Structure 1
């Protein structure tokens, strides 16, 4: 199956990180592309400071930052802020029986663990960790969306996921993001993740974004929603200047 350029570049970056050094020739054979394509990909990755180009190949960047941190790594960052954000987001659950969508992400996983046990909810999610937290709750009717599960986010993505979301309607969606800025909106590094997040936004009557302050002002490769597409941003107080900018742009911001 042909890979998109972004998917190929992500795989190349991960391979360089694991092996320590990879040649252009090896990458061309592995990904079934020309050496010229590999060189262009490596130039792109070097420009993003994800690899360091050397003669005939690439090395990991000296201060390597992955295209997208895995759930384990992301869960270690800003844990107290994420816990408070998840607690504050509970207030946006509908009072009566309702259908909600919970996106993938470390903060949304925390939210799943805080859902009230006395309230009947139908929950749709493409996140395996979120589903695991909710599977045993008798008050939750759980639907795990179909699709290919990405190792990085442990979330289902792809045509099946987007199609399933296109057939449903939810009162509230709780959404994660890798970045949110005034100019670029909400964004993520991966095209498939972006398509799924866009579909979540489209099928929800209310969109609540959970993002710690380190995400504010950040821009990733693929925009999946504009600021006008969201209703509430729940964050922490770590970036007061950014918070005021979002409020001035018309976004309801709740700080936890």
Structure 2
């Protein structure tokens, strides 16, 4: 996996005069970097600290036991990162990567029939890139997606109704769930705040989780669009398993991560 290299001042420091750090010093450096970067990866820490990957894993396990970090696939995140949910207007990180993921998802569109496009930043980019001659019924719980696609006469756009969350501009609760129970769509395009082998598919909000669960039930084929920052992460509410997804489209995964996710169920497409 390609990892963005942090500036030297922000990376974990080695011991003075090139000497090795004691375990406590290493763990302090790991926490300092995790707090600044939002997550740490085993391979990168091993290179920066000049220790083995196994030593890093022991440090991460020790910090998890102290309640400071939470282990995820390939690394760890600070415990205070788990519940974060940026508002829709602030979801501009990784835009180019998300555009590539959305473009790759176009291959999963059915030639006719119906699709569901869930609320979210990457799924909205998919809606933006739908071919102009496409003729489909598009269900969505996303107000931005509905407003974007409604002017296109060849599409039939149907929203679920329900309470609109200010954070995501997505429709949730009873009206939305009632609508979802009445439909069957050919392909559903979903997002996630976290996806991991241990925790499955997760999101920070209970109402969003309920809608996502029902989308999984209402679709014949399910495609998950997530950038690599979501891989190995876990949010508060679990709404599905990796085996619930037929296709996972993401970016910059290494061969080991891709194989592990493939083995859990979905066909993994890396862009």
Q: What TM-score do the two structures reach when normalised by structure 2?
A: 0.68
Q: 131, 135, 139: which one pairs with 1:124?
A: 139
Aligned residues: 196
1:147-191: CA deviation from partner (whole Å, max 9, x where unpaired):
000000001100110110000000000001001111111000000
Distance in 1 (alpha carbons) for counterparts of 2:223 and 2:139: 15
Does the alignment pair 1:199 with 2:190? Answer: no
1:52-73: CA deviation from partner (whole Å, max 9, x where unpaired):
xxxxxxxxxxx98863111122
Contact in 1 for aligned 2:244/2:265 (Cα 8 Å):
no
Does the alignment pair 1:69 with 2:86? Answer: yes
Give 2:50's aligned residue: none
Structure 1 214/240 Cα, relative in aligned 2: closer, same or farther at 3 Å?
farther
Distance in 2 (alpha carbons) for counterparts of 1:64 and 1:121: 38
1:76-119: CA deviation from partner (whole Å, max 9, x where unpaired):
21111100000000000012x21100001000000001111212
Contact in 1 for aligned 2:123/2:189 (Cα 8 Å):
yes
Does the alignment pair 1:81 with 2:84? Answer: no
Runs of 4+ in 1 over 6 A off after TM superposition: 63-66
Distance in 1 (alpha carbons) for counterparts of 2:68 and 2:155: 42
Contact in 1 for aligned 2:245/2:265 (Cα 8 Å):
no
Matches within 5 A, 1:228-247: 228-238=243-253, 240-247=255-262
Per-residue deviation, 1:255:
1.1
Task: Give the secondary-structure state (helix, strand or coil) at the position aligned to 2:130.
Answer: coil
Give 2:59's aligned residue: none
Structure 2 residues not aligned, in runs of 5+: 1-66, 70-79
Does the alignment pair 1:91 with 2:90? Answer: no
Distance in 2 (alpha carbons) for counterparts of 1:122 and 1:108: 16
Per-residue deviation, 1:133:
1.1
Computing the radius of gyration from Cα coordinates, the structure with the larger value is 2
Contact in 1 for aligned 2:190/2:222 (Cα 8 Å):
yes
Structure 1 residues not aligned, in runs of 5+: 1-46, 50-62
Q: What TM-score do the two structures reach when normalised by structure 1?
A: 0.72
Does the alignment pair 1:140 with 2:155? Answer: yes
Query: CA RMSD for the aligned pairs?
Result: 2.0
